[in-house]
Structure 1
Amino acid sequence: MLRSQSPRVVAGRAVLVAGMLMLAVAPWVFGLGTISVLTEFLTMLVLALMWNLLAGYADVVTVGQHAFVGIGAYAFYGFAALAQIRPPAAILLAGLVALALALPAMAIVFRLRAMYLAIGTWVVAELFMLVAGKLSAFGGGSGVSLPLPVLRALGARPAERFIVVYWLALVLAATAFFSTWLLLRSRVGIGLMAMRDNEEGAGAVGVDLVRARMLCFLWTAPFLGLAGAIATLQKLRISPAASFSIIDYTVFVIFNVVIGGVGSLEGPVLGTILFFVLREYLSDFGTWHLMLLGALSIAVILIEPRGLWGLIRRRLARDLVPVSHHGSRL
C-alpha cells in the first residue's frame, strides 16, 4: 500500500513543477539577458547530471568530461560551418561524434582505476584540446567565430536566435533529466543504485560493475557533445581554450554536484541553481569568489557528504523525484 505523502514532499514537488513551468514560459516572460543566463544554466545542468551519473552511481570520478564538450563544439562547427549542414542536424551529429570518440577514450581510461582513472580522463581531454589547436580549418590555436549564414539559419534577428538557442538547451536538459531518470528506474539503474550504496555488495549479488561503468560512460558522451554544440551557438565561436575549458565544464560542474548532492537527481539541480545565484552575488570579488566557492563546498562536505540535498532529505524522508520503484531510496 502506498504511503501518504508528507506536506513537505508535496510542497517540494510543487516547487519543482513550478520551476519547470517557469522554464517553459520563460521566452514570453523574461528579457534576453535572463534568457541568456537560463540557457547557460540549462547547459550546465546537463553537464552536472552527466557527471553525477558517472561519479555518483558508477563510481567513475572523471576530471576530463570537458573533452566531449569540446569535441561536440568542434564537430558542430565542422558540420554547420564547413559542411553547411543545418544547425539542428549539425547538433545531433556533434553528439554522435562525441559518442564515437568516447569508444577509444573509454578503452584507454578504463584500464585505470581510482585516482589514476581521474588523471587519465584529464590527460585524454588535454590530448583532444591539443589536437583541436592544430586544426587550421577550425582556426588553429586562436579559434574561429561561427559564420553569419549559420546564425541566420536560427533566425534573422539576434533576439530570435537567443530564443531558438534557449529552446534547444531546454529540450536537451529535459531529455537528459528524464532519460537519466528512466535509466535509473530500469534494471540497469537498480544495479547502479546498488553500486552507489555498496559497490562490493553490488558485485557480490551479481551486478556487472565493469559493464555498468562502460554503459554510463557511453551514455554521458553524446549529451556532453550536444551541450558543447549548444554552448558554441551561445558563445558564437570555438577555440581550444574555451571549448575545452576544464574550469567551466569540469571544475564548476564538480562543485555543483558535490555541493548539491552526489548520487541523486535533485542534487545536481539544487547545486546548479545555487552556483548561478552565488556567481551573481560573488562575481564582483574577482578570483576570490572561486576560493569562496571552494571553501563552501568543503564546509558542506564536512557537514553532510551527500551535499545540501542530503540535509534536506533528512527532513523529507524521501526523494522529490522517486528513482526506486517504491519511491524511496534503496
Structure 2
Amino acid sequence: MSASPFRVERWTTASRASVVAVALLIAALALGPGYFSDNAIDKLTTLFVYVILATMWNALAGYAGLVSIGQQAFFGLGAYFAVRLADGGMPVYGALASAAALTGLVSWPLSYFMLRLRDGEFAIGMWVVAELFHLLVNLDPLIQGETGTSLVALNRYGAFARHAYTYWMALAGMSFLLLLLFALLRSRTGAGIQAIRDNEEAAASVGVEVARTKRLIFVLAALGAGLAGSLWLANAITFQPKTYFSPQWTAYMIFMALVGGLGTFEGALIGAVIFFAIEALFGAAGVWYLIGLGATALGFALFLPRGLWGWVEARYGLSLLPVGYRLRFKTHSSSPAQTPRLAAQPRRK
C-alpha cells in the first residue's frame, strides 16, 4: 500500500508566530498603567471584559453547542458576590476573584438540572434562571432592591491605584482564561467537547463522557462570566441588579461571537475588538446604536454565517491559534481552498 500523500499537522509557522506575538502583546499591556491615561486604562479594562465574555460564550455555544441566552445570570452573580464579600470584610480585590470562583461553584449543582435540557429548552431555561437569580438578589437588604449599592471598599484606594489594580486584574484574568481554554480545547477533552456539539449520541458511543464534559464547559463559562461581572463592578463601582442581570449582556456575547466567527478561537477575540470599537464610536447614539447592532448581527447571520474569521479560514485556510488538526498535501503545494476537497477524496490503493 502506498504512503498517504497527506500529513496531519497542528502548528504552522504562522501559528507559532501568532502565539509569540500574543505573549509579547500581553507582556507589553502589563506595562500599560505606567504609560496610559486613566481614561485609556478604563477603556482597555472594558475591552478585556468583553474578550472574557466573548470567549466564554463562544466556548459554551460555539464549541460545545450549548446555546444560552441567560449568561447574564452569572455576570450578575459575579458582581453581587463581590459586593457581598467585600461588605463582609474581605479585601476588595480578593473579593473580586473569590466572587468568580463562587459563581463557578454555584453553577456546578445548577448544571445537574440545566444540562438535562436540550437545544431551545436549555436556552430558555437559562434565561429563566437569570430572572430567578435577579429576584433573589433583590431580596438581600444590602442591595435595597433595584436601588442597588456600591463597592465602597474601593474608596480605600486612590484613583490611580484603583484604575491600575483593576486593569492588571482584568488583564491577568483574561490571559488566564484564554490560556486555560486554549489548553482545554487542544486536549482530548476539547475533542470530546466538539464531538458532543456535532452529535451527542455518536460522541457517547465512542467513549466521550458526555455529562462530565458538558458540565466542565458549563462551569468554566459561568466562572468566566462571573469574573467579567466582578471586574465590571470594579470599573463602574455601583451595583444595580437590573443592570447586571440585563439580557443585553448575553446579547453582546452573541453579537461578538457571531460577528467574529462562532466556533473559532480567533473569532471571539476579533468579535470583542469589533464590538468595543463600535461601542466607542456609536454608543452615544442610544436606541439607534442597539438597532444597528441587531441589524449587523442579522446581516452576518444571513450573509456571513461563519463570521469574519470563519470566512477567512474557509477562504485562505489560515489558522493563527490552532485548537484542532489540519490535513495537508505532502508532495506539492496546494491552495488552502483545495485542502478540504483533497482531504475528502478516498485514498487510492
Question: Structure 2 length as normaliser, TM-score?
Answer: 0.84
Quick one: which amino acid aligns to residue 181 of structure 1?
Answer: F
Q: Compute the displacement of 1:272 (Å).
A: 0.5
1:104-133 deviation line (CA, Å, top 9, x unaligned): 322332232111110000000000001111
CA distance in 2, matches of 1:161, 1:198: 47
- Tell me if structure 2 keeps the 8 A contact 1:105–1:124: no
Q: Compute the displacement of 1:51 (Å).
A: 0.7
Q: Which residue of 2 aligns with 1:243?
A: 244
Q: Any idea what SS the aligned residue of 1:141 has? A: helix
Q: Which residue of 1 aligns with 2:190?
A: 189
Q: Which residue of 1 aligns with 2:312?
A: 312
Q: Which residue of 2 aligns with 1:98?
A: 103
Q: Any idea what SS the aligned residue of 2:184 has? A: helix
Quick one: which amino acid aligns to residue 151 of structure 1?
Answer: L
The sequence identity of aligned pairs, in percent, is 35
1:122-137 matched pairs, under 5 angstroms: 122-137=127-142
Q: Which residue of 2 aligns with 1:271?
A: 271
1:239-278 deviation line (CA, Å, top 9, x unaligned): 211221221x211111001111111111110000000111
- Tell me if structure 1 keeps the 8 A contact 2:77–2:226: yes
Q: Which residue of 2 aligns with 1:144?
A: 149
CA distance in 2, matches of 1:93, 1:260: 30
Quick one: which amino acid aligns to residue 219 of structure 1?
Answer: L
Q: Any idea what SS the aligned residue of 2:226 has? A: helix
CA distance in 2, matches of 1:199, 1:130: 34
CA distance in 1, matches of 2:198, 2:232: 34
1:65-85 deviation line (CA, Å, top 9, x unaligned): 11111111111111112x111
Q: Which residue of 2 aligns with 1:289?
A: 289
CA distance in 2, matches of 1:79, 1:95: 11
CA distance in 2, matches of 1:281, 1:33: 15
Quick one: which amino acid aligns to residue 144 of structure 2?
Answer: G
Instruction: Specify whether residues 281 and 91 from structure 1 end up closer, same or farther in structure 2 by C-alpha distance, changes over 3 A only.
Output: closer
Structure 1 unaligned blocks of 5 or more: none
CA distance in 1, matches of 2:132, 2:90: 27
Quick one: which amino acid aligns to residue 210 of structure 2?
Answer: L
CA distance in 1, matches of 2:265, 2:190: 13
Question: Structure 1 length as normaliser, TM-score?
Answer: 0.89
Q: Any idea what SS the aligned residue of 2:270 has? A: helix
CA distance in 2, matches of 1:218, 1:31: 36
CA distance in 2, matches of 1:44, 1:139: 28
- Tell me if structure 2 keeps the 8 A contact 1:69–1:226: yes
Instruction: Specify whether residues 3 and 325 from structure 1 end up closer, same or farther in structure 2 by C-alpha distance, changes over 3 A only.
Output: closer
| RMSD between aligned residues | 2.6
Instruction: Specify whether residues 84 and 212 from structure 1 end up closer, same or farther in structure 2 by C-alpha distance, changes over 3 A only.
Output: same
- Tell me if structure 2 keeps the 8 A contact 1:57–1:196: yes
- Tell me if structure 2 keeps the 8 A contact 1:196–1:263: no
Quick one: which amino acid aligns to residue 34 of structure 1?
Answer: A
Q: Which residue of 2 aligns with 1:220?
A: 221
Q: Which residue of 2 aligns with 1:172?
A: 173
Q: Which residue of 1 aligns with 2:332?
A: none
1:13-67 deviation line (CA, Å, top 9, x unaligned): 6764564355233223321111111111111211111111110111111111111
Alignment: residue pair count: 323
Q: Compute the displacement of 1:327 (Å).
A: 9.6
Structure 2 unaligned blocks of 5 or more: 1-6, 329-339, 344-349
CA distance in 2, matches of 1:291, 1:152: 37
CA distance in 1, matches of 2:295, 2:312: 20
CA distance in 2, matches of 1:141, 1:161: 26
Q: Is 1:36–2:37 an aligned residue pair?
A: no
Q: Compute the displacement of 1:235 (Å).
A: 0.9
CA distance in 2, matches of 1:146, 1:47: 22
CA distance in 1, matches of 2:85, 2:286: 37
Larger Rg: 2
